[in-house]
Amino acid sequence: MARESESGRPIEAVYGPESLKDWDPAVQLGEPGAYPYTRGVYPTMYTGRPWTMRQYAGFGTAVESNARYKQLIANGTMGLSVAFDLPTQMGHDSDAPLAHGEVGKVGVAIDSVDDMRVLFDGIPLDQVSTSMTINAPAALLLLLYQLVAEEQGVAPEKLSGTIQNDVLKEYIARGTYIFPPKPSLRLVADIFQYCRREIPKWNTISISGYHMAEAGATPAQEIAFTLANGIEYVRTAISAGMEVDDFAPRLSFFFVARTTILEEVAKFRAARRIWARVMKEEFGAKNPKSMMLRFHTQTAGVQLTAQQPEVNLVRVAVQGLAAVLGGTQSLHTNSYDEAIALPTEKAARLALRTQQVLAYESDVTATVDPFAGSYVVESMTDDVEAAALELMRQVEDRGGAVEAIEQGFQKGEIERSAYRVAQQTDAGERVVVGVNRFQLDEEEPYEPLRVDPTIEAQQAERLRRLRAERDQAAVDAALAELRAAAGGGEENVLYPMRKALKARATVGEVCNLLREVWGAYVPSETF
């Protein structure tokens, strides 16, 4: 029986030159580091240096997460990647009623500059690159990071890292939105402008397909909807008066890596090619860096299983290999126990060691773009590109990414794909080792990492002390300035926001003020 790719395209048993329709190697491939960047965004790729090895981590209090970061750095990680708890992601303080039961559970609780100071205590911020998975309140966490760096004596121009800051995909797949799309996009544009002036090495957005893939998007859907969101952000910045080459070099992307190596490699190559052409042909970018699709990859958490969790070590290694062969700029490899609980220290170390084996024991770093010219990969690259372009056209036909989101287009397409996969898995047509084939009669016992249930009370006490000790008049004055800026349309809100956070206003207080001014997003129930 003929197999299909994850995007639903047929996979032939044999590929040859005839598989490559209208294929002109000089046009389609080019050289590594040259437009349209099919073969990679840099001429030497990993032959000069390996990708940045990041490990996504954060849980409990800032004290506990700080200890984990130091362990990861000691074990050879090259960059930090911060996971925030749900209250922080949703702009609620740890003592808010809506935060009850969620404090510190899926990430670290950050309520104020005091917590951020503890989180990075003893970590020199001019020597480490930090990625922060935060979206609706991304501006706040970036400013808190800058304030802590200044306390360390680190100038803003020396800071490097990324904030995810991709709110559009929250409306599509993930759900940690706060404000409606229009003010959310204004906040994105303000971040672009602020970083250009204040933190020039910072990547201002990581436009994410990962969460759409985890919700069920196919590889073609993943890159199509991600790039469509990227186009919306570019249009927003240009409408705000920015020149494309002033901000586009700092755009970055975030994709998943599945176990289906061939299509994943093709997906990454197709995404680079599409983005390069969009930036050059639609937006008139002149700077080559504006056309480069630089991306971070995380291995597919949705493919990990609670059954026989050690098998996830194999899955993660295969997924990491797909990301490397596809030319990622940085990589997080999931821990084998993440389908059960927060990763243990040993599991996190093994995940990092997986990357180190790929980088230093295999030969995948010896040459640039190992699959270039492969009949199957080049054919699949063309197929994924064609499918993604058709989906992007459908988004445009609906008026662009925001209008398509409001019509439920992307969400509906992803849900249909997720349902198809669930049906195939339930029917046994899609094999999941240890789940629907090769099961054990009895699973081995596993002791998960557990979050201290007293964390919520600890954070509430920290907040009580903070509010008692701070200069409340200074906080009130700064918040009033922020309210005036948010209510207008001209002033960049990050400057009064930084003033309020420096005065020790909390994340929840700032977000609640903005909720009052901008409103809170309520998804439509009409689709």
pLDDT at position 3: 85
Whole-angstrom distance, CA of residue 285 vs CA of residue 406 = 29
How far apart are the C-alpha atoms of 102 and 112, rounded to whole Å? Answer: 17
Backbone angles phi, psi at 524, to 5 degrees: -70, 145
Instruction: Say what the pLDDT of residue 114 is.
Output: 98
pTM for the full model? 0.93
d(CA 105, CA 33): 41
Classify residue 449 by its DSSP letter.
Answer: B
Cβ atoms of residues 331 and 459 within 8 Å: no
- Looking at CATH, the fold of the domain delimited by 3-10+37-427 is given as TIM Barrel (3.20.20)
Do residues 147 and 113 touch, judged by C-beta distance below 8 A? Answer: yes
160 alpha carbon, distance to own chain's centre: 16
User: Phi-psi bin for 76: left (phi > 0), alpha (psi -120 to 50), beta?
Assistant: left
Q: What pLDDT is stored for residue 490 in this prediction?
A: 87
The answer to whether residues 439 and 307 touch, using CB atoms and an 8 Å cutoff, is: yes
Q: What is the pLDDT along the chain (527 residues), one digit of tens a residue?
A: 468 899 988 888 888 777 776 666 655 678 999 999 999 999 999 999 999 999 888 999 999 999 999 999 999 998 899 999 999 999 999 999 999 999 999 999 999 999 999 999 999 999 999 999 999 999 999 999 999 999 999 999 999 999 999 999 999 999 999 999 999 999 999 999 999 999 999 999 999 999 999 999 999 999 999 999 999 999 999 999 999 999 999 999 999 999 999 999 999 999 999 999 999 999 999 999 999 999 999 999 999 999 999 999 999 999 999 999 999 999 999 999 999 988 999 999 999 999 999 999 999 999 999 999 999 999 999 999 999 999 999 999 999 999 999 999 999 999 999 999 999 999 999 999 999 999 999 988 888 888 888 999 999 999 999 999 999 999 999 999 999 999 998 899 999 999 999 999 999 999 999 999 999 999 876 43
Half-sphere exposure of 126 (CA within 13 A, CB side): 10
Phi, psi dihedral angles at 411 (to 5 degrees): -60, -45
Whole-number Å distance between alpha carbons of 503 and 506: 9
The answer to whether 87 and 96 have CB atoms below 8 angstroms apart is yes
pLDDT at residue number 527: 38
* 10: exposed, middle or buried (Cβ count in 10 Å: 0-12, 13-18, 19+): exposed
Please give the Cα distance from 264 to 262 (Å, whole number).
5
pLDDT score at 81: 92
Nearest to 262 by CA among 371, 368, 365: 371
What pLDDT does residue 219 have? 98
Q: 55 near 332, Cβ under 8 Å?
A: yes
Domain boundaries, the chain: 3-10+37-427, 455-518
**CA 185, CA 207: separation in Å to the nearest integer?**
13
> DSSP readout, 286-310?
-SHHHH---EEEEE-GGG--SSSTT
| pLDDT at residue number 446 | 85
Instruction: Determine the pLDDT at residue 526.
Output: 43
